[in-house]
DNA sequence: CTGAAAGCGCTAACAA
DNA sequence: TTGTTAGCGCTTTCAG
């Protein structure tokens, strides 16, 4: 037998469908006689009535869905963000529609179009580039958007990001306290806000702490992954091997360094110290356990969902962006400088 | 300005909305004059017409969505499955609605209800227990369901699972070829098909290879995670420490072993060898790199989506289940037995 | 081949 | 407080 409709409920309760609708909807319940409300609710329960959200959407042109755009679900950075988003959306009666772009702009375009076709009420975007054509279009089209983990130029959409500058400073200070003076930075891609913010923070920290500032010590990786990290470190080793530590743009880049360590027999941390960023899962079980900067992934998601909900509920409220605090997690990929480092310098030069 | 509707297109093309609908829908296009089709399509493109899927769904009662039910997105096992599912669903014009249950039956219930309320056309379920009340209900209600990674009792829904038995056998054979004779098994929960299938396969392999068969060598973990794995190994160590290798129910359980190794100063693989199962990411960077059985996660997802699509398109086709081949990945957590193992026996007893 | 008309299930004016 | 009416945007008979 087919699922009960509002009409069935109304008929069984002896009222008009309109009345049944009001009785079942908490916002309009107070316009209906108490007794009637009770009766309708009771009948609805008996019939196992479930409102059809499709029909409601068609009428109200509200779907109760938010699009979530991430590069790749397979990157451990994103699942906690997604969970965070959904943990806030769900109790608010919204649900998320997830798409992966694989970092491909054209795929992103079609995915976003599909989301729009499905009438999402807003978009939470984790794939933003510093200059992102699609974002501008979205802004022009009046699509509600919040950025998570990235803060692009030229858009005043709300965003929530970790405190990149503080994180990098924590990393550099940690290394400096261990006696490192020539510290390298494997920066993330220059077209991402996180990439440039972290690189800038690195330079500032190096300057403030009076460490060696040498442009050859900063290499920009093409992507936020292991391959790019490995590539970056090889480049660094080729041009200037006299550094004793590296601050990686993120954990995956740091893992790329591990690959190079293995391939060249470099002893981490005795020859080179590394610190990552993000504190993704299982880092404590690596060889060696990776020192990193923990960013509150889940909270990143939660805050972005809250921002979205605010946007939906109070469209006129001035937009705001939030920055979340980070913390240093010291493990075993960083150590005090020693003669080993000096020896390594010559060996790998 | 508001998005163009079918009416707008029809008006601009000088035809009736019904005709425009037929012209735009590939299935009914052949009922319309070629020229008219062309004109309507052209006008639609000019107006940037996007059909409203909500309205279409209301009429056809097909939503083009499939619910995907997983325990936890944060477990690295699932994202590849989800990506696999979506890679098949997407080109077929369907999209997935993802929910996480956190392994909580009541939460699962509400999540599935929400999915049903959203009128999903089918459910792909990765959370199945061996005896799963909800599944039976779903079956009774005629909800299209396919199981991925699990194959419950008492349901004839299609399923796609890795070849658990072959995987365990591969692991045991590998260990046996290294000279291990007393091999322990940290089994997954007894209420999951994977847990019991693997435990049974373990016993069979031990028997077939003439290894030491001792019930105390099999400990069942309460969950598929690190804590449960650590707990299991401690129990094993307490009751019978004279094993030289352990086959873990999955990689996370194996990681739990690593925790115990660290806490007790046990040298893996020299004192105890471990093999995991699943080959989740980054295992190659652990200390030591974990030997494991690779299961084709993504393909698991792909096949389950294909099964679902078949169910949708040919409801009368006999149901079938698929089993996917697995392979052994030898890394450094397994080694030949030696005096070390003997020494360890006494030390940890 | 195309137009007309009905209606999917619900909500929101407007009346009463 | 409740009933009436119209219609969200689309598909799909049924005529023509």
d(CA A68, CA A101): 11
d(CA A25, CA B128): 34
Q: What percent of chain B has pLDDT over 90?
A: 71
B65-70: average pLDDT? 96
Hey, is B305 helix, strand or coil?
A: helix
Q: Which residue of A has its CA nearest to B287?
A: A287
Give the tokens for residue B141: 């209600």
d(CA A260, CA A186): 13
B141-155: average pLDDT? 87
The whole-number pLDDT of residue B349 equals 44
Per CB-CB distance under 8 Å, the chain A contacts of B114 are 95
Q: How far is the first Cα of chain B from the last one, in angstroms, to the nearest whole number?
A: 77
In b/e form, how buried is each residue of B230-268, taking b as 16+ CB within 10 angstroms?
bbbbbebbeebebbbbbbbbbbbbbbbbbbbbeeeebeb
Laid out side by side, the sheet with A95-100 consists of A95-100, A65-70, A122-125, A145-148, A159-162, A322-324
Residue ranges of alpha helices (H) inside B34-163 are 34-46, 53-60, 78-89, 105-117, 133-140
| Residues of B at the A interface, defined by Cβ within 8 angstroms | 50-55, 57-58, 63, 72-74, 76, 79-80, 82-83, 86, 95-98, 100, 114, 116-119, 255, 258, 281-282, 285-289
pLDDT at B348 over 80: no
Superfamily in which the A164-295+329-348 domain is placed by CATH: Response regulator (3.40.50.2300)
d(CA B184, CA B275): 11
More confident: B69 or B4: B69
Question: How many CB atoms within 10 Å of residue A137?
Answer: 12
For residue B200, the distance in angstroms to the closest alpha carbon of chain A comes to 29
Question: Does this chain's domain B63-160+296-324 share its CATH topology with B164-295+329-348?
Answer: yes
B313 — pLDDT class (breaks 50, 70, 90): confident
Which positions of chain C lie under 7 Å from any protein Cβ? Answer: 1-13
Superfamily in which the B63-160+296-324 domain is placed by CATH: Response regulator (3.40.50.2300)
Q: Give the class (CATH, top level) of B6-51.
A: mainly alpha
- Nearest residue to nucleotide D9, by CA–C1' distance, is B55
The CA-atom distances, in angstroms, between A295 and each of A279, A328, B282, B291 are: 7, 9, 20, 30
Average pLDDT taken over every residue of chain B: 91
Determine if residue B263 is left, alpha or beta; phi over 0 gives left, psi from -120 to 50 gives alpha, anything else beta. alpha
Please check whether residue A283 is in contact with residue A294, taking contact to mean a CB–CB distance below 8 angstroms. no
Cα A113–chain centre separation: 21
Exposed / middle / buried, residue A339 (Cβ in 10 Å: 0-12, 13-18, 19+)? exposed
- Tens of pLDDT, residue by residue over B277-305, are 999 988 988 889 999 999 999 999 999 99
Among A58, A73, A288, beta carbon nearest to B79:
A73
pLDDT at B5 over 80: yes
Per CB-CB distance under 8 Å, the chain B contacts of A53 are 117-119
For residue B117, the distance in angstroms to the closest alpha carbon of chain A comes to 7
The whole-number pLDDT of residue A184 equals 97
B240 — pLDDT class (breaks 50, 70, 90): confident
pLDDT per position in chain A (349 positions), as tens? Answer: 678 899 999 989 999 988 999 999 888 888 888 889 999 999 999 998 889 989 999 998 889 999 999 999 999 999 999 999 999 999 998 999 999 999 899 999 999 988 988 889 999 999 988 888 888 888 888 889 999 999 988 677 899 999 999 999 999 999 999 999 999 999 999 999 999 999 999 999 999 999 999 999 999 999 999 999 999 999 999 997 689 999 999 999 999 999 999 999 999 999 999 999 999 988 988 889 999 999 999 999 999 999 999 999 887 888 889 999 999 999 999 999 986 655 555 555 4
Give the tokens for residue B177: 């070829």
Question: How many CB atoms within 10 Å of residue B274?
Answer: 29
The whole-number pLDDT of residue A349 equals 44
B318 — pLDDT class (breaks 50, 70, 90): confident
The whole-number pLDDT of residue A317 equals 83
pLDDT at B317 over 60: yes
Please check whether residue B130 is in contact with residue B196, taking contact to mean a CB–CB distance below 8 angstroms. yes
- Give which of B282, B221, B212 is closest to B250, Cα–Cα: B221
CB contact under 8 Å between B116 and A82, yes or no, is no
pLDDT at B340 over 80: no
Say if strands A245-248 and A273-275 run parallel, antiparallel, or are unpaired.
parallel
d(CA B50, CA B44): 8
d(CA A303, CA A85): 8
Per CB-CB distance under 8 Å, the chain A contacts of B63 are 54
Question: How many CB atoms within 10 Å of residue A131?
Answer: 12
In b/e form, how buried is each residue of A247-270, taking b as 16+ CB within 10 angstroms?
bbbbbbbbbbbbbbbeeeebebbb
Per CB-CB distance under 8 Å, the chain B contacts of A88 are none
Cα A190–chain centre separation: 18
Please check whether residue B270 is in contact with residue B340, taking contact to mean a CB–CB distance below 8 angstroms. yes
In b/e form, how buried is each residue of B24-62, taking b as 16+ CB within 10 angstroms?
beeeeeeebeeebbebbbebbeebebeebbbbbbbeeee
Q: Which of residues 57-76 of B touch strand C (CB under 7 A)?
A: 58-59, 61
For residue A342, the distance in angstroms to the closest alpha carbon of chain B comes to 26
Give the tokens for residue B271: 């004192």
More confident: B145 or B132: B145
User: Domain boundaries in chain B?
Assistant: 6-51, 63-160+296-324, 164-295+329-348
B87-99: average pLDDT? 94
pTM of the model: 0.92
d(CA B78, CA A82): 13
Contacts with A115 (C-beta within 8 Å, 6 or more apart), sequence order: A67, A69, A97, A99, A123
The whole-number pLDDT of residue B347 equals 55
Per CB-CB distance under 8 Å, the chain B contacts of A258 are 285
| Residues of A at the B interface, defined by Cβ within 8 angstroms | 50-55, 57-58, 63, 72-74, 76, 79-80, 82-83, 86, 95-98, 100, 113-114, 116-119, 255, 258, 281-282, 285-289
Residue B65's DSSP bridge partners are: B95
CB contact under 8 Å between A285 and B281, yes or no, is no
Q: Which residue of A has its CA nearest to B66?
A: A97
The whole-number pLDDT of residue A316 equals 80
């Amino acid at each position: 037998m087919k699922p009960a409709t509002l009409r069935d409920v109304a008929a069984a309760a002896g009222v008009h469908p309109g009345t049944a609708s009001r009785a079942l909807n908490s916002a309009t319940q107070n316009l209906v006689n108490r007794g009637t409300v009770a009766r309708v609710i009771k009948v609805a329960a008996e019939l196992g009535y479930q409102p059809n959200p499709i029909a409601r959407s068609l009428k109200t042109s509200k779907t109760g869905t938010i699009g979530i755009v991430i590069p790749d679900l397979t990157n451990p950075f994103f699942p906690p963000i997604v969970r965070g988003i959904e943990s806030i959306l769900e109790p608010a009666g919204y649900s998320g529609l997830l798409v992966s772009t694989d970092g491909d702009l054209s795929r992103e375009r079609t995915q976003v179009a599909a989301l729009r076709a499905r009438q999402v009420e807003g978009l939470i975007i984790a794939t933003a580039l510093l200059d992102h054509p699609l974002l501008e279009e979205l802004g022009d089209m009046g699509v509600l958007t919040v950025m998570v983990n990235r803060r692009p130029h030229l858009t005043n959409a709300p965003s929530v990001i970790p405190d990149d500058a503080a994180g990098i400073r924590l990393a550099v200070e940690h290394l400096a306290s261990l006696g490192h003076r020539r510290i390298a930075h494997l920066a993330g891609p220059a077209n991402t806000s996180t990439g440039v913010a972290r690189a800038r923070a690195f330079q500032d920290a190096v300057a403030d702490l009076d460490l060696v500032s040498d442009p050859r010590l900063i290499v920009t990786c093409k992507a936020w992954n292991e391959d790019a990290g490995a590539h970056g470190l090889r480049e660094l080793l080729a041009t200037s091997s006299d550094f004793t530590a590296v601050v990686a743009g993120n954990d995956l880049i740091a893992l790329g360094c591990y690959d190079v360590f293995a391939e060249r027999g470099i002893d981490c941390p005795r020859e080179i110290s590394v610190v990552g960023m993000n504190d993704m899962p299982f880092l404590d079980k690596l060889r060696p356990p990776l020192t990193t900067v923990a960013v509150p992934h889940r909270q990143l998601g939660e805050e972005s969902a809250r921002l979205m909900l605010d946007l939906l509920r109070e469209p006129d409220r001035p937009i705001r962006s939030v920055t979340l605090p980070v913390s240093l997690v010291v493990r075993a990929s960083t150590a005090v400088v020693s003669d080993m480092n000096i020896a390594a310098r010559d060996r790998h030069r």
